[in-house]
Amino acid sequence: MPYSDEDCIAISGLQHLAFCKRQWGIIHLEQEWAENFLTAEGRIMHERVDSGYQEFRKGVRQYSGLHIRSQELGLYGRMDVLEVEKTEGPFVDIPWIGLSGNWQLRPVEFKHGKPKNNDVDLVQLCAQALCLEEMTGLKVKEGSIYYCEIRRRNEFEFTDDIRERTIELAKEGHQLIESGILPYAEKGINCKACSLLEFCQPRVKQSEKLKNYYRELFG
Ligand code: SF4
**b/e sequence 143-170, b meaning 16+ C-beta within 10 Å:** bbbbbeeeeeebebebeeebbebbbebb
> What is the per-residue pLDDT for 52?
73
pLDDT digits 0-9 by tens, 104-142: 999 999 998 899 989 999 999 999 999 999 999 999 999
Residue 173 has pLDDT above 80, yes or no: yes
pTM: 0.85
Give the pLDDT band (50/70/90) at residue 45. Answer: low
18: Cβ below 6 Å to ligand 1? no
At 118, phi and psi to the nearest 5? -140, -175
Contact indicator for 23, 199 with CB cutoff of 8 Å: no
Which of 19, 116, 182, 187 most suits a substitution to test ligand 1, by most atoms within 8 Å of the C-beta? 187
Average pLDDT, integer, range 33-50: 62
Name the nearest CA neighbour of 169 among 17, 9, 6, 8.
Answer: 17
Q: Would you kindly state where each structural domain of the chain is located, as residue ranges?
A: 5-20+27-181
CA distance 130 to 175: 20
The rounded Å distance from CA 147 to ligand 1 centre is 24
Does the domain at 5-20+27-181 match CATH 3.90.320? Answer given as yes
Residue 185 has a pLDDT of 87
C-alpha distances (whole Å) from 216 to each of 179, 213, 219 are 15, 5, 6
For 141-155, what is each residue's pLDDT tens digit? 999 999 999 999 999
Kindly give the distance from the C-alpha atom of residue 42 to the centroid of ligand 1, in angstroms, as a whole number: 19
* CB neighbour list of residue 18: distance below 8 Å, 6 or more residues apart: 118, 119, 120, 123, 165, 169
Residue 94 near residue 136 (C-beta atoms within 8 A): yes
Across residues 169-181, what is the average pLDDT? 95
